[in-house]
């Protein structure tokens, strides 16, 4: 606790599995019997990044198998360009949330494509009624899913799982442990414990070209992301601006804003409030190229969001800004990091915007002050300086 704020630097641990749990002692599926594996992960960027650790372990266990993801069409490039998936089957989330005829059309097209590929194994880590239905209809001999499910089908006889994974594996609480739990259920040794994104050389070339265009030097700039899926999860732009001014003045590092076109409003407010020259890369970096850009940064500062997890998986230090969402469940993993969060319970600042206890609809991050955030950035920079010099 510092100045009334919680600051977490811990990383998820991986205690040994309990040998008395029958679900951790299932016979392994022979490597030669698995030629194709479907991972159903239809959620968001952060979930996909965390799921990359599952994919890496499957690739190590079944080196001849195709690792295929089912995901939203907008994320296919990210997975393919960063060595997460061998192939991607896409669907259109907007259609799945549309009218019943449109949902049915998208579901039928998706099922047709999946059955055409003849998967040997499906692993459903989305855990919705729709994903469980798709897993069962894909026709694989081995079907892995959570037991108990968070969203069970209404008819017990229609459950599609024949390998049952615990809700959270390896005795952990982080959602990384949830997405690794199928490995435990399959009896697969855990060799890759954290997500790692490996950009293709073409993406690295694009990132270096962007650095040259915006006059940024490798390992000499802080990547800042001010966006998030809900306004209440976005730290105030004027506080980002104040923090950027302090960080730049005290470290001499440049600052680059990243994000999508939908985050232009926050970006413009930061640019208008900050006294420091800032490279505005928002909307200029394709999602598939963003991990390669992060690999060139000295540190990431941003809200609890998908890009925060991407930065961690790219291997750079991360300062993440959290509200009601608990970093124990969703904090950055695998790299030196600090998760900043107001002390809880907090007084609501969002008025009618707040809809607690849903962490996606609470504005607790607004209570984070500038000084503790700047302090966390400076501390993490100092802590990782030796490692940076050793790697150069």
**3-state DSSP helix/strand/coil percent for the chain, to nearest 5?**
45, 15, 40
The ranges assigned to domains in the chain are 12-186, 201-391
Over the chain, what is the mean pLDDT? 88
The answer to whether 58 and 38 have CB atoms below 8 angstroms apart is no
Q: Return phi, psi of residue 17, to 5°.
A: -65, 150
How many residues can be counted in the chain? 392
pLDDT band, very low/low/confident/very high, at 4 (cuts 50, 70, 90): very low
Q: 0.95 cut: is pTM over it?
A: no
Which pLDDT tens digit goes with each residue over 200-215?
A: 999 999 999 999 999 9
Which pLDDT tens digit goes with each residue over 9-37?
A: 667 766 554 433 434 445 567 777 899 99
Reply yes or no on whether the pLDDT at 312 is more than 50: yes
At 21 the pLDDT is 46
Both tokens assigned to 123: 């692993």
> What's the whole-number mean pLDDT along residues 309-324?
96
Determine how β-strand 337-342 pairs with β-strand 318-321.
parallel
Per CATH, the homologous superfamily of domain 12-186 is: Glycogen Phosphorylase B; (3.40.50.2000)
At 103 the pLDDT is 86
Reply yes or no on whether the pLDDT at 332 is more than 80: yes
Tell me how many degrees the CA angle 85-14-191 measures, rounded to the nearest 5: 40
DSSP state letters, 325-355: S-HHHH---SSSEEEEEE-SS----SGGG--
> What's the whole-number mean pLDDT along residues 218-228?
96
At 233 the pLDDT is 86
Which pLDDT tens digit goes with each residue over 48-79?
A: 999 999 999 999 999 999 999 999 999 999 99
Q: Do domains 12-186 and 201-391 have the same CATH topology?
A: yes
Reply yes or no on whether the pLDDT at 3 is more than 50: no
CA distance 311 to 292: 9
CA distance 332 to 321: 10
Both tokens assigned to 360: 């996606």
Which pLDDT tens digit goes with each residue over 224-235?
A: 999 987 888 899
> What's the whole-number mean pLDDT along residues 301-326?
96
Which pLDDT tens digit goes with each residue over 134-161?
A: 999 999 999 999 998 887 666 554 557 8
Q: Return phi, psi of residue 245, to 5°.
A: -60, -45
Which residues lie below 8 Å from residue 116, measured CB to CB, with a gap of 6+?
none
Reply yes or no on whether the pLDDT at 197 is more than 70: yes
Q: Indicate the CATH number for domain 201-391.
A: 3.40.50.2000
CA distance 244 to 263: 17
Query: Considering only 42-51, 148-157, 239-248, 312-321, which range has the smallest mean pLDDT?
Result: 148-157
At 354 the pLDDT is 65
Residue given tokens 């002390």 in the structure block: 343
Question: 256-280: string of b/e by CB count within 10 Å (b at 16+)?
Answer: bbbbbeebeebbebbbebbeeebbb
Strands (E), 41-86: 66-72
Query: Considering only 5-14, 108-117, 119-128, which range has the smallest mean pLDDT?
Result: 5-14
Q: Which of 31-40, 87-96, 357-366 has the highest mean pLDDT?
A: 31-40
At 172 the pLDDT is 94
């Amino acid at each position: 606790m510092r100045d009334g704020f919680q600051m977490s630097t811990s990383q998820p641990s991986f205690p040994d599995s309990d040998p008395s749990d029958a679900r951790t002692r299932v016979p392994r599926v022979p490597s030669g019997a698995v030629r194709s594996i479907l991972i159903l992960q239809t959620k968001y960027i952060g979930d996909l990044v965390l799921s990359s650790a599952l994919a890496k372990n499957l690739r190590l266990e079944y080196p001849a198998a195709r690792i295929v993801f089912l995901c939203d069409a907008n994320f296919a490039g990210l997975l393919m360009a960063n060595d997460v998936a061998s192939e991607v089957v896409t669907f259109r989330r907007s259609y799945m949330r549309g009218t019943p005829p449109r949902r049915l059309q998208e579901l039928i097209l998706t099922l047709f494509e999946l059955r055409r590929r003849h998967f040997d194994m499906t692993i459903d880590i989305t855990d919705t009624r729709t994903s469980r239905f798709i897993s069962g209809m894909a026709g694989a001999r081995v079907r892995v899913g959570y037991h108990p499910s968070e969203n069970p089908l209404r008819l017990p006889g229609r459950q599609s799982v024949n390998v049952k994974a615990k809700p959270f594996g390896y005795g952990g609480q982080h959602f990384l442990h949830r997405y690794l739990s199928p490995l435990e259920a399959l009896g697969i040794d855990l060799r890759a414990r954290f997500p790692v994104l490996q950009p293709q050389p073409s993406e690295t070339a694009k990132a270096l070209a962007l650095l040259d265009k915006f006059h940024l030097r490798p390992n000499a700039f802080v990547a800042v992301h001010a966006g998030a899926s809900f306004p209440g999860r976005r730290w105030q732009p004027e506080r980002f601006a104040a923090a950027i001014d302090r960080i730049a003045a005290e470290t001499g590092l440049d600052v680059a804003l990243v994000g999508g076109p939908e985050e232009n409003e926050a970006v413009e407010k930061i640019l208008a409030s900050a006294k420091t020259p800032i490279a505005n890369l928002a909307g200029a970096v394709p999602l598939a190229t963003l991990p390669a850009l992060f690999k060139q940064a000295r540190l990431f500062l941003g809200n609890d969001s998908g890009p925060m997890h991407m930065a961690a998986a790219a291997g750079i230090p991360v300062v993440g800004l959290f509200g009601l969402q608990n970093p124990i469940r969703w904090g950055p993993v695998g790299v030196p990091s600090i998760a900043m969060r107001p002390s809880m319970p907090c007084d609501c600042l969002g008025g009618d915007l707040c809809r607690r206890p849903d962490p996606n609809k609470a504005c607790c991050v607004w209570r984070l002050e500038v000084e503790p955030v700047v302090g966390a950035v400076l501390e993490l920079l100092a802590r990782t300086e030796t490692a940076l010099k050793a790697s150069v």
